[in-house]
Structure 1
Amino acid sequence: MSSFNTTLKGGFILMGFSDWPQLEHIFFVFISMFYILTIFGNFTIITISRMDQRLQTPMYFFLNNLSFLDLCYTTSIVPQLLVNISGIDKTMSYAGCMTQFFIVLLLGGTECMLLVVMAFDRYVAVCHPLHYTSIMHPLLCHALAISSWVGGLVNSLTQTSLIMTIPLCGHHLNHFFCEMLVLLKLACEDTGGTEANLFVAGAVILVCPVALILGTYAHIAHAVLKIKSRSGRRKALGTCGSHLTVVFLFYGSAMYTYLQPVHVYSGSEGKFAALFYTIITPMLNPLIYTLRNKDVKGALCKVLGRDTSTT
């Protein structure tokens, strides 16, 4: 317990990528570029969605929420990472670590729930197109968005409370942010029960949404097969392809990281997996939706002052 008290006072040293000191400068440059692109891309999505009347629909309302989440999620990790890599300061207080842990889980859990909501939106659009505007009423859209945040909050409170009950020994975190499995490796006592509870909480926030999304898309696929027109099928699939790509990128990396036992967790692999879901995926999301969406590209050209009527 004395080690735990020391940790409370002295905090942690984030090891980051100090295992590869020759690569730290390269990491700094590329992560800075990716972070700038993430901010620019997601901010652009939010801006054009609000400026163009054609994008005042439930689909883009949820896309705005996703972009806002990605901005907050990346910002909760990357600035600290850049300071760490630059060598200016590799320390973090216990309170700061738990705060970051809580925020990351809150935003990540909210995104898990929001992707389910977006799948439901696509289900209504494809399977019930004539009733889409009446079903996806603004009140329902706001209620679904708020429910996503509440679900993320409950998940974050649950897992943060469990982590804070564990006495920790040592100061060195072999990661670039306060990540759950790395914290569990510092436990001073057996964490079998807590680890099981955390695994169940992680499975609920990851596996259950994936199951709902897959079930939703099974119904969408069945409806698409009934569409006789090839152009109609292409349009229906086009509205879902971007969302499915985002789901695959986000859940794939998150499940790979969190649904594994602590004793098989590899710090090196974990860092690179974390780079993917904390930096790469938020950066790619605006590109995925923009490149596959004529409405977004048209709105962007309109904002930039280009006439697309002849293209």
Structure 2
Amino acid sequence: MKNMAAGNYFTVTEFFLAGLSGKQELQILLFLLFFGIYMVTVAGNLGMITLIVLSSNLHNPMYYFLSSLSFIDFCQSTVVTPKMLLGFLTEKNLISYCECMTQLYFFIIFSIAECYTLAAMAYDHYVAICKPLLYTITMSYQTYSSLISVYIFSVLSASIHTGFMIRIWFCKLDVINHYFCDLLPLLKLACSNTYINELLILIFSIVNIFVPTLTIIASYISIIASILRIKSTEGRSKAFSTCSSHISAVTVFFGSAAFMYLQPSSVRSMDQGKVSSVFYTTVVPMLNPLIYSLRNKDVSISLKKILQRKKFMLQK
């Protein structure tokens, strides 16, 4: 066995990941689907970061936040998806205890970082639309301090969650009913008391979902009030266009995360949780660069310029 008895508990050295589906006939189809999603995610997010680095007209706070979001999405997808893809090709998808805790740690870091980056982007839109004359002065300092704060808080939160998870003794049953190591599926295997872990999940979920959400809502209330005072239709349209891509990203990410973590345990279903998890671990990281590139004129113009420059160089 892979477990060593310790009183009534066991020291688990390996877990089995149940994956998205137990139906063998779907495994290759799911592999091809998520492999395609992952390739688009990698290309889209690394492409967005490269475009922002190479385009001088995108060197402003708004796009620094966007490049940070692309970095987070790339890392988040890479933490989860390759292991999930491997699971579609193997009969028993094993993950060692150390790998599981490492995956959990980095998953939490990038999930929380995305929450606060989306909130920081909403504040950036608020300053740009409501206080345009102060934008450069205000955001030149706050951009870097915000990004640093986001990652510090994310690492701290992940360290606390993972530290308390390491204290848990697991039962002999070592099948995680999920496609990656997440907090809630792991706690279902616990034999020791999980009260502190569940309390931490509730507290951090409320803080990390509601604080960014309230920041976003407050920012957009001010933004909408400011837009309604704009007399020209073109000005209103431009202002709404600036915010629409961000609103789309926020809705999908926070909606799926809230469905997973803020439901009472009595009505929570792991199978439904898997579906919502797919959205914020694989679909959102793929959609974000597409949303921002297709609905952002500055990004589209910069991309066309770089492609034209490359074409000109090849013709020479």
Q: TM-score range by the shorter chain?
A: over 0.9
1:161 equivalent in structure 2: 163
Residue 85 of structure 2 corresponds to residue 94 of structure 1: no
1:134 equivalent in structure 2: 137
SS at match of 2:231: coil
Cα distance in structure 2, aligned partners of 1:230 and 1:160: 51
User: Which has the larger displacement, 219-228 or 183-192?
Assistant: 183-192
1:225 equivalent in structure 2: 228
Assess if the C-alpha contact under 8 Å between 1:17 and 1:24 holds in 2.
no
Unaligned stretches of 5+ in structure 2? 1-5, 311-316
Assess if the C-alpha contact under 8 Å between 2:15 and 2:97 holds in 1.
yes
Alpha-carbon spacing, 1:168–1:34, altered in 2? closer, same or farther (3 Å): same
Q: Matched residues, percent identical?
A: 38
Unaligned stretches of 5+ in structure 1? none
SS at match of 2:11: helix
Alpha-carbon spacing, 1:3–1:247, altered in 2? closer, same or farther (3 Å): farther
Once the two structures are superposed, residues 58-96 of structure 1 have per-residue CA deviations (whole angstroms, 9 ceiling, x without a partner) of 111110000000000000011111111110761111111
1:117 equivalent in structure 2: 120
2:23 equivalent in structure 1: 20
For 2:116, the aligned partner's letter is M
Cα distance in structure 1, aligned partners of 2:42 and 2:195: 39
Once the two structures are superposed, residues 273-301 of structure 1 have per-residue CA deviations (whole angstroms, 9 ceiling, x without a partner) of 11111111110001111111111111111
2:3 equivalent in structure 1: none
Cα distance in structure 2, aligned partners of 1:37 and 1:56: 24
Residue 72 of structure 2 corresponds to residue 69 of structure 1: yes
Alpha-carbon spacing, 1:123–1:288, altered in 2? closer, same or farther (3 Å): same
SS at match of 2:308: coil
SS at match of 2:16: strand
Give the TM-score normalised by structure 2.
0.92
Provide the aligned length of Structure 1 versus Structure 2: 304
Q: What is the CA-CA distance between 1:257 and the residue it aligns to? A: 0.6
What RMSD over aligned residues (CA atoms) do the two structures have, in Å?
1.7
Q: What is the CA-CA distance between 1:18 and the residue it aligns to? A: 4.5
Once the two structures are superposed, residues 243-299 of structure 1 have per-residue CA deviations (whole angstroms, 9 ceiling, x without a partner) of 111111111111111112334322221222111111111100011111111111111
Cα distance in structure 1, aligned partners of 2:87 and 2:231: 56
Give the TM-score normalised by structure 1.
0.93
For 2:149, the aligned partner's letter is S
Cα distance in structure 2, aligned partners of 1:128 and 1:59: 14
Alpha-carbon spacing, 1:185–1:233, altered in 2? closer, same or farther (3 Å): same
Deviation >3 Å, runs of 4+: 1-6
Alpha-carbon spacing, 1:29–1:69, altered in 2? closer, same or farther (3 Å): same
Cα distance in structure 2, aligned partners of 1:232 and 1:153: 40
